[in-house]
Structure 1
Amino acid sequence: MNFKHAAIALSLLLLCGCQQKDDSAFIISTSYGDMKITLYDDTPNHKKRFNKLVKEDVYNEVLFHSVQQEGVAEGGNPASRDVRPNRIIGENPIRETISAEISATRFHKRGAIGMRNGASSEFYIVLGKKTTKEDITQLERESFFKKGSAAIEKLFIQHQDSLSKLENSGDSIALLKFQEELIAQAKNEISAKETWHYSDEQIRAYREYGGLPALDGEDTVFGEVTEGFDVLEKIEHAATYPDGRPKENIVFCIRKE
């Protein structure tokens, strides 16, 4: 290939590259204005799924059907399209679901975009509230207790036959000793595993901007709002019915930036 042909080939390659749209940057156009969002590369399955849903126009004129102040703004069900505010929204027709991609570095700060485990197309934007360091510490304790209780229950089920035999024998001392051994084993298993701890960055973000730290480790955070927080605030303060359904439809569309 001579220099001229190489230059032409390079120009075409650069041109094609410039024409490709970023698969991480999107605009959510709502009744209140536009928000720019960015999807994370380290949640690739959610990123790929979101791109697919946008391409298929699933998010074309659908609703934020639930808005909870200091909670989340949730939407993305195609069955909500053209449904009046006081009408029931039908079941989501999209059956394909997606498994969680939970990362300790992605958390539910204000403006974070998340999906519940097993969701199909519905997603939420975190509103939340400002949280103190003491609140975070309490959440860590509750998380440890929850995991510990689950581990104890699992071990008790695994050793149900042995526990039943001891109970039927009437030897309450032996039964209590065995139960204590199982509880200690569960505690050691949980302590040995990596448990959820909030980083300094997370604590600072929750204290300064707010969010929903209680959801960390439960749902997948796969993106965040980068511009248009004034729009998010308008959505948060929209008048709603007791169940969180906005009294006036909040319609949105999503397109690539």
Structure 2
Amino acid sequence: MRHGILFIIFLFCSQILLAQTHKIAFKTDYGTIKVVLYDFTPQHRDLMVKSIRDSIYQGALFNRIIENFVVQGGEHDIDIAKREAADPKGNKPRLAGEFDARAFHKIGALGQGRDDNPEKASFLNQIYFVVGKELSEEDLAKLEKQKGITFTAAQRSEYLKNGGLPRLDGDYTVFGEIYEGLEVIMAISRFKTSKDDFPLSPVRFSVSVIE
């Protein structure tokens, strides 16, 4: 019975991926990562497509790498803070968060970075891939209590089988996931870094839309 339920969940998730309208490719010196963007987070999907057309992520850097956590790229927190502090009008452009139970922090999920703003709004030019770690039933139960949430059957199955970062759910927007090339981002997540999580050698990437 349990295997039957998991099979149904797998089929449901597969149909979700097939139904999405945009796919993109992150090209690195270490391989290509192919990502599907979720139609159920449309503002973040459209922001990414626009950013690609505006060449925001051409020759960008994965500039924050934490094994068992995330590989982050685009504009760094430090640079965003400096730029905004220097703006005479005090502008802090953000995109309102989009949260959907189907978009969660599984391994390979693509999310949008942010600061600690209470609205949970996203930076415009910073993304991250979830590397994550193994999880137990106890881990999920503790998080449900702490965050006042209940993980769905699909979330629970994925987290227990493959791991992830469920503690970020509901706080950071996930808007896509890797469907090919997960091994590339996992390899990058193990690169040596400085004490500030900068990779010791530049890790560049460019993003294009898959037509």
Fold match by TM threshold 0.5: yes
**Contact 2:94–2:124, Cα closer than 8 Å, also in 1:** yes
Aligned equivalent of 1:218, options 167, 171, 184: 171
Shift of 1:89: 6.6
**Contact 2:136–2:160, Cα closer than 8 Å, also in 1:** yes
Q: Partner of 1:24 in structure 2?
A: 22
Q: Partner of 2:157 in structure 1?
A: 204
Q: Partner of 2:51 in structure 1?
A: 53
Shift of 1:90: 3.4
SS in 1 for 2:80: coil
- Between the aligned partners of 1:202 and 1:90, the Cα distance in structure 2 is 34
SS in 1 for 2:79: coil
- Between the aligned partners of 2:100 and 2:21, the Cα distance in structure 1 is 20
Identity of aligned residues (%): 32
**Contact 1:30–1:251, Cα closer than 8 Å, also in 2:** yes
Aligned equivalent of 1:102, options 99, 102, 105: 99
SS in 2 for 1:224: strand
Q: Partner of 2:190 in structure 1?
A: 237
Give the unaligned 5+ runs of structure 2.
Answer: 1-19, 85-91, 115-120
Structure of greater Rg: 1
**Contact 1:23–1:51, Cα closer than 8 Å, also in 2:** no
Q: TM-score, normalised by structure 2?
A: 0.78
SS in 2 for 1:29: strand
The code of the aligned residue for 2:53 comes to K
Give the unaligned 5+ runs of structure 1.
Answer: 1-21, 81-87, 145-195
Determine which structure has the larger helix proportion and give its number: 1
- Between the aligned partners of 1:89 and 1:100, the Cα distance in structure 2 is 21
The code of the aligned residue for 2:33 comes to M
Q: TM-score, normalised by structure 1?
A: 0.65
Task: Deviation per CA, 1:170-228: give whole Å up to 9, x if none.
Answer: xxxxxxxxxxxxxxxxxxxxxxxxxx210121112112211100001111110001100
**Contact 2:21–2:39, Cα closer than 8 Å, also in 1:** no
- Between the aligned partners of 2:21 and 2:158, the Cα distance in structure 1 is 26
The code of the aligned residue for 1:54 comes to I
- Between the aligned partners of 2:168 and 2:79, the Cα distance in structure 1 is 26
**Contact 2:47–2:124, Cα closer than 8 Å, also in 1:** no
1:58-137 alignment runs, 5 A limit: 58-77=56-75, 90-91=79-80, 96-115=93-112, 116=114, 117-137=121-141
Q: Partner of 2:37 in structure 1?
A: 39
Shift of 1:143: 1.0
Determine which structure has the larger strand proportion and give its number: 2
Equivalences, count? 176
Is the alpha carbon distance of 1:110 and 1:46 closer, same or farther for their aligned partners in structure 2, counting shifts above 3 Å? Answer: same
SS in 2 for 1:91: helix
Q: Partner of 1:227 in structure 2?
A: 180
